[in-house]
Structure 1
Amino acid sequence: METLGQLAVKSADAYPEKIAVKDENRAFDYKEFIARARALSAYFHDLNFEKGDRIGILMSNRLEHIELDVAVALAGLIKVPLNYRLHPKEHQYMIEDAGLRLIIGDQGLIDAVNPDLPILYIGGDYEAVIGKYLGQAFSEQVGEDDLFAIMYTSGTTGNPKGVMLSHRNIIAGALSLAQVCEVDYEDIIGHAAPLTHGSNFLSHVAWLYGLTQVVYSKFEPEEFLDHLEKDKVSVMFLVPTMVNLMIQHPSFDAAKLATVKSINMAGSAIAASKLQQALDKAGDIFIQTYGQVEAPMCITMMPRNEIRNRLDSCGRIGTFVDVKIVDGDGKQVADGEVGEIIAKGSLVMKGYWNNEKATADTLKDGWLYTGDLGWRDAKGFVHIVDRKKDVIISGGVNIYPREVEEVLNLHKGVKETCVIGVPDDKWGECVVAYVVPNGTEEVTVEQLIGLCKDNLASFKKPKEVFIVEELPKSSYGKILKREMKQKHVEVIQ
């Protein structure tokens, strides 16, 4: 394998006049793009940064994310993307934990944190640096096992952990995504999801083919479809929440997706009924991948020619990872049996930054223990059951919230659901469901209870169902079940 910097330089040499990246107002061809990235790497070198120093990036969706990826890679530094949707106190924790030497980004976001370290604001200051160093370059000796990024987990259980990802990890993910998204040399990659996270993994595919990337500053379903049509985007990453908003929008027009080849729908689970709806409305343009920050995107991969027939599966095992499903003692279970999904290979992180205990708890003999429960069928397709920590134990029997959520989502008037376990004096825990309607038709508690009665064993039915306007979500669009449990206590008091 190569490094990200080397791959980007090769693309620039091969396609100097092709547009590398653009947004609503700007466009840079590969010659301009690589010159800007090299100028930034020279600037980092002039600041006496050493190989392995960390640089924080705190900004909304902007094309600078993409050129900074290359600049950091060329300089042998480590990028630390900070999700702009997080609270300044969360940013401060990550800044201190990572030991940043510099932070680059939007002035308003950075000033809210008020970090005690050098700052480079996007805009005039940033462009002045590029102008000063344009024509200069610096390249550090970087190997594929050197760190490229420290990406912090969403922190749903305590402080976020810094996942250490090497160039090898990132390129293994890019090669996997290229395969499952059926990427070729004519594709155009679109970014509407945050470039601090999932969409950034797709951005690295561009350096394998010399592709054009289009960055959108925000996601508004109707405008987004217009942009896709105008820019002829063919490949993108969207979280299921974004897909649902797009296809359920009153003015949704599938014709505007004419150039779209594949949408990687990942980042959180999607109910089979909602996936079916997306396929029926938009066509066979969706692929699915399952992964974690600790093994980016492609632990499993579901191509678009398979997805319609396997709505409840996340695909077969990815190209650059080995996967086993094990019991509580770490022993592999038989096909059809539920166990914890563990993974090993080029895709798997090097560990957690400054956290030996968490690394030892999660990486055992090179195997990443994902905390996800699932099973594998006879044809090799993996099926996610639920997060290990979210399993409800009622009367000594395991109940998987996702199974109940799948049934609730069968109601055509349901937008999304959240099933949790709450303390119960008799059974230890009982099942409680929260449901958000989509506004297309009436949704009642009686209807939802009836659905569960018709489709689930009696002990799996929710004891209570609450219809609400929204569910608490992380900045990445994942429903926060821990917070939902806390809110439930407030509801019943």
Structure 2
Amino acid sequence: MYQSTLPGQFLSISESQADSIALQSNAEQVSYGDLKRRVDKVGSYFKQIGIEPGDRVALVIDNSVDYVTAFYAIWKVGGIVVSLNPQAKFHEIEKLIQQCEAKCLLIDKLNHANTEQLNQLSINMITLNQCDINGVANWSTALECEADNNWYSATEDTLAQIIYTSGTTGNPKGVLLSHGNLMCNVKDIIEYLELTREDSVLNVLPFHYCYGNSVLHTHFSVGGKVILAGSMAFPQEIVNTMREYKATGFSGVPSTFSLFLARSDWPQDPPPLRYMTQAGGPMGKELTQKLLQSSQPDTKLYVMYGQTEACARISWLPPHKLDEKLGSAGISLTHVDLEIRDENAQALPNGQKGEVYVKGPSIMQGYWNNAEASEQVLLNGWLKTGDLGYLDDEGYLYLVGRNSDMIKVGAHRINPLELEEVINKLGFVQESAVIGIEDEILGQKLRAFIVGEESRENLLALKKHCNEYLPTHKIPREIQWAEQLPKTASGKIKRYLLKS
């Protein structure tokens, strides 16, 4: 039986499973009971410095026990969590702090110059690094505060979190989620993943965006274990950690699994996982098949689709349907309604392509302080996703791209994902991205960015491959080699940066 909110569920689990391990890292392991005691202390400190229900508290902290402690402590006092990317430039962080009107900032590291800038915002500052800067509190002070057990009684309508969109367009917006939004999505995900207290997920996803956020709360809500792993810069170490801590689950984006297959012993000795989940953009059919063939026979792969505006997850593909429905984003969650509509917002029959619209209790409240943007995507309770797709005769969703990504070459509208899937079949190509650039005659022409070994031989092979598998108007006119593609924290390609 679930509580109506995630903080309520956390209190229930921390009482019934006080000795169960909640968080595991190389440095420490923390039980639910210990974590709750830390949360109580930090929450009491927040009260002392004047944090009240509805106040925004910004977290600029890498995945850690301290991050999770601060997160639930904000909820203890009824605050709204604003998780920001610790890898962002300081001026970006400062802009978002101003935009959400945060009353308090918790940050991994501060220096004197940054502090002077933030002092102009009249904001409480707490830093995790030991420092002696006037006006900045140390995290240790919060952890040593005398605890109380008084938790704010949040309801399903209480505002819980602001998650800034990944910003594939370069203009991040603050997605405002209620406790009811989060709890509904969490329960639906637990249902199809069949999560229990016996599950332990190894996590490399940043908690500050919706996929990692979802992994944390789904496993906490069943009393499972979250294993905090290191950087994907060392994929073999991640695979070793899976084995060492006996992880039952792993969640990743397509490039994550590509790295495992190319730079670790996963194909020779696949870890004994119960399940894997994949989201954060479409995974090519060939990579999906290669991952399945290289994994344990009883490891289930869940292909998923979602948006921050939908709290995380919109649809999922049942693992037993992977072969039959390869390339599909699956069926909608239990509490999500899904339709395909035309340009006039009229529902289309199965088989016809249009824009994906979704509705349900997990859909966001709107964008923080941005009524105009909210009105553009929220129509009579439906979320206008901007994603293009169609439903087959059995109601399975197939995505074909985004409205904003479509490239117009002459009279042709071209979906870059279709071209990238063709290019990525070449063995020397790790990944690719196709964009449209200005052309005086056609309006736009195609430029392909290739991550892989650059050589004249490979360039000729690429051109031959494109000529063989693509019609003339879909063949990239320019090829540019790249060491890596610019991506959001969720693994989506920042195409606007490629254009610049």
Aligned-residue offset at 1:112: 4.5
Q: Is the 8 A contact 1:60 1:217 kept in 2?
A: no
3-state SS, counterpart of residue 297 of structure 1: coil
CA distance in 2, matches of 1:85, 1:477: 14
Q: Partner of 2:448: helix, strand, or coil?
A: strand
Q: Measure the CA separation in 2 of the matches of 1:369 and 1:10.
A: 36
Letter in 2 for 1:11: I
What corresponds to 2:198 in structure 1?
186
Displacement over 4 Å in runs of 4+: 108-114
Q: Deviations over 1:184-208 (max 9, x none)?
A: 2210122211111121211111233
Distance 2:300 2:212 in 1: 17
The reply on whether 1:336 has 2:344 as its aligned counterpart is no
What fraction of aligned residue pairs are identical, expressed as a percent?
27
Match of 2:165 among 149, 153, 156: 153
Task: Determine helix, strand or coil for the equivalent of 2:62.
Answer: coil
Asked whether the equivalents of residues 254 and 281 of structure 2 are also in contact (C-alpha less than 8 Å), the reply is yes
Compute the displacement of 1:215 (Å).
1.4
Give 1:122's aligned residue: 128
Could you report, residue by residue, the CA deviation over 1:190-236 in whole angstroms, capped at 9, with x for unpaired residues? 22111111212111112331112221243320111111111111123
Q: Tell me the amino acid that sits aligned with residue 443 of structure 2.
A: G
Pair 254,105 (structure 1): closer, same or farther in 2 beyond 3 Å: farther
Structure-1 residue corresponding to 2:463 = 449
**Residue in structure 1 matched with residue 282 of structure 2 by the alignment:** 269
Distance 1:44 1:110, change over 3 A: farther
Instruction: Name stretches of at least 5 consecutive residues in structure 1 with no aligned partner.
Output: 487-493
CA contact (8 A) 1:413 1:443 kept: no
Aligned partner of 1:417 in structure 2 is: 432
More deviation, 88-97/332-341:
332-341
State the distance in 1 between where 2:220 and 2:484 align.
39
State the distance in 1 between where 2:24 and 2:419 align.
43
Tell me by how many angstroms 1:438 deviates. 6.2
Q: Tell me the residue number matched to 1:429.
A: 444
Contact 1:445 1:467 in 2 (8 A): no
The alpha-carbon deviation at position 299 of structure 1 amounts to 0.9
For the 8 Å contact 1:4–1:73, the answer to whether it is kept is no
Q: Which deviates more, 413-422 or 207-216?
A: 207-216
SS at match of 1:67: helix
CA-CA distance at 1:240 after TM superposition: 1.6
- Normalising by structure 2, we get a TM-score of 0.91
Q: 1:281 maps to what in 2?
A: 294
Structure 1 residue 32, shift from structure 2 partner: 1.2
- 2:248: which partner in 1? 234
Cα offset for 1:386?
0.8
Query: Please, what is the CA RMSD of the aligned residues?
Result: 2.1
Quote how far apart the aligned CAs of 1:22 are: 2.3
Three-state SS of the structure 1 residue aligned to 2:7 is helix
Report the count of equivalent residues.
483
Deviation at 1:123, TM superposition (A): 5.6
Gaps of 5+ in 2: 131-137
8 A contact 1:238–1:265 mirrored in 2: yes
Instruction: Provide the C-alpha distance between the structure 2 equivalents of 1:421 and 1:485, rounded to a whole number of angstroms.
Output: 8
Q: What's the counterpart of residue 260 of structure 2?
A: 246
Matching residue of 1:81: 83
In 2, the alpha carbon distance for the partners of 1:22 and 1:143 equals: 30
Q: TM-score with structure 1 length normalisation?
A: 0.92
Give the aligned residue type for 2:118.
Answer: P
**Residue equivalent to 1:210:** 223
Is 1:477 equivalent to 2:491 in the alignment?
yes
1:139 equivalent to 2:145? Answer no
Q: Name the CA distance, whole Å, in 1 between partners of 2:180 and 2:208.
A: 19
User: Matched residue of 2:313: which SS?
Assistant: strand
Aligned counterparts of 2:70 and 2:92: Cα–Cα separation in 1: 22
CA contact (8 A) 1:3 1:73 kept: no
Give me the whole-angstrom Cα distance separating, in 2, the residues matched to 1:48 and 1:435.
Answer: 52
Give, in angstroms, the shift of residue 253 of structure 1: 5.1
Question: Which secondary structure state, in structure 1, belongs to the residue aligned with residue 314 of structure 2?
Answer: strand
Local SS of the residue matching 1:282: coil
